[in-house]
């Protein structure tokens, strides 16, 4: 029988609803919902317990092993997942190879990581990083090999040569595989300072390196290693030549567009070849203020950036840390844009005696006759003559 229901609005009178036919009972829909809620609560509880156990294992270690045992036993993953071998060695160990894929931005950022606590929690023997900025081969390597021999724990070597050049040193050589990733370098341009900063940054990756000496392929040592190490490590200053020269080759190279960061009275000139400690090395590598000024306003033919950039910047910021002289002897007596190149005919005992004994300087505030530890420029053909008299004349 069809059920018809009308409303009072339609009929204008009160109506009665027809009896409801019998309906079959349906299962409650709330049961699956409650099951899902229970499952979610259980899942959240499990995740919370896991996070708490992870936190306590990480931050309280094995001392709370008994307290954490029930949680640890609930999952066999905890021990292998969070077991890690962390030690001081993993932080202080130098890179196994000098080759890496970092660009300069990444390298400089990584190199300037500095320990805030200077009391090292291990036996640290400070090393000297000898950094060679070369045009290719190292024709005077033999005298350096003799110089380094027997002092392997006190030095590191880094070579920046053209990217296309590959050295051919034997595995027994101190220079074996000591080339760093490099970029083309052009004399007198900012690329020269880029190469020097690149050498510093690569050497700084080894925390044992405390002193950094920049050399060229035409440099030789004129003191034995022990003398060099003691002289550098016991000095109260770093050896960066920096002086105010009023003439056209000094203040005459200043560009007024460098002001107000760099004013004329701040402008300094000095030799390219330097020795700096780690504190100054960090300042050189991390610089972002002075670099653009020298890059943009110290151009070749009117200004040679490698003679002014580090010298000016460090004199402005840390003048008390500079000895204001270089450790590398150079002869400018013949004039010109480049110093004298010494050939085999120049190499005599008297030649070295004049360099070693006829100069005076200040060392730790006291007058000294020991002023130079290295010398340049020596031609490749001078090496045999140097080796012949090195033992007697230089103690090497």
Q: Which domains does the chain have, with CATH numbers?
A: 103-327 (3.90.550)
- Burial class from Cβ neighbours inside 10 Å (0-12, 13-18, 19+) for residue 355 reads middle
pLDDT of residue 163: 93
Query: What sign does the dihedral 140-144-146-152 (CA atoms) show?
Result: negative
Give the number of C-alpha atoms closer than 13 A to the C-alpha of residue 33, restricted to the C-beta side: 4
Per residue in 110-132, pLDDT (tens digit) is 999 888 888 888 888 999 999 99
Give the closest residue to 146 by CA, choosing from 224, 241, 227, 232. Answer: 224
Mean pLDDT for the chain? 84
Report helix, strand or coil for 34.
helix
Residue whose token pair is 């829909």: 29
pLDDT of residue 22: 41
pLDDT tier, 257 (very low <50, low <70, confident <90, very high otherwise): very high
Residue 273: alpha-carbon gap to chain centroid: 19
pLDDT of residue 119: 84
Give the closest residue to 159 by CA, choosing from 143, 180, 145, 138. Answer: 180
**Both tokens assigned to 333:** 């007596």
pLDDT of residue 333: 82
Per residue in 377-387, pLDDT (tens digit) is 999 999 999 99
Q: Is 224:147 a contact under the CB 8 Å cutoff?
A: yes
pLDDT tier, 280 (very low <50, low <70, confident <90, very high otherwise): very high
Give the closest residue to 220 by CA, choosing from 92, 102, 63, 383. Answer: 383
Query: Which segments within 187-332 are labelled E, that is strand?
Result: 209-216, 220-221, 275-277, 328-329
Beta bridge partners of 158: 131
pLDDT of residue 15: 40
The rounded distance, in Å, linking the Cα atoms of 254 and 365 is: 31
Per residue in 227-250, pLDDT (tens digit) is 999 999 999 999 999 999 999 999
Give the closest residue to 372 by CA, choosing from 243, 271, 268. Answer: 271
Give the closest residue to 117 by CA, choosing from 99, 90, 91, 143. Answer: 91
User: Mean pLDDT throughout 280-309?
Assistant: 96
Give the closest residue to 128 by CA, choosing from 146, 106, 152, 95. Answer: 152
């Amino acid at each position: 029988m069809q059920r018809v229901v009308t409303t009072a609005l339609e009929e204008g009178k009160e109506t009665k609803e027809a009896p409801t036919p019998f309906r079959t009972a349906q299962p409650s829909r709330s049961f699956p919902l409650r099951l899902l809620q229970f499952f979610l609560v259980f899942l959240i509880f499990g995740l919370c317990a896991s996070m708490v156990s992870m936190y306590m294992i990480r931050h309280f270690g094995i001392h709370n092993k008994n307290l954490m045992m029930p949680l640890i036993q609930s999952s066999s993953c905890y021990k292998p997942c969070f077991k890690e071998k962390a030690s001081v060695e993993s932080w202080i160990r130098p890179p196994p190879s000098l080759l890496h894929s970092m660009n300069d931005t990444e390298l400089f950022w990584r190199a300037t990581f500095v320990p805030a606590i200077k009391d090292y929690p291990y036996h640290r023997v400070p090393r000297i990083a000898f950094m060679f900025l070369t045009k290719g081969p190292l024709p005077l390597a033999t005298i350096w090999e003799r110089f380094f021999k027997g002092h392997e724990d006190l030095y590191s070597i880094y070579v920046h040569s053209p990217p296309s050049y590959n050295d051919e040193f034997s595995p027994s050589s101190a220079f074996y595989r000591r080339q760093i990733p490099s970029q083309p370098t052009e004399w007198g341009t900012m690329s020269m300072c880029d190469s020097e900063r690149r050498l510093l940054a690569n050497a700084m990756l080894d925390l044992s390196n405390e002193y950094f000496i920049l050399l060229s392929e035409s440099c030789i040592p004129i003191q034995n290693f022990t003398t060099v190490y003691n002289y550098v490590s016991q000095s109260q200053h770093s050896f960066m030549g920096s002086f105010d020269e009023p003439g056209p080759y000094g203040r005459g190279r200043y560009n007024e567009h460098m002001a107000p960061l760099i004013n004329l009275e701040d402008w300094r000139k000095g030799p390219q070849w330097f020795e700096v400690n780690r504190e100054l090395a960090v300042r050189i590598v991390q610089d972002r203020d002075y670099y653009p000024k020298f890059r943009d306003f110290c151009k070749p033919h009117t200004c040679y950036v490698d003679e002014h950039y580090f010298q000016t910047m460090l004199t402005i910021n840390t003048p008390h840390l500079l000895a204001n002289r270089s450790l590398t002897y150079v002869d400018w007596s013949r004039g010109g844009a480049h110093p004298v190149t010494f050939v085999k005919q120049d190499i005599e005992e008297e030649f070295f005696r004049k360099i070693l004994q006829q100069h005076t300087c200040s060392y730790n505030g006291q007058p000294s006759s020991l002023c130079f530890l290295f010398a340049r420029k020596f031609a490749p053909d001078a090496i045999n003559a140097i080796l012949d008299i090195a033992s007697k004349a230089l103690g090497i």
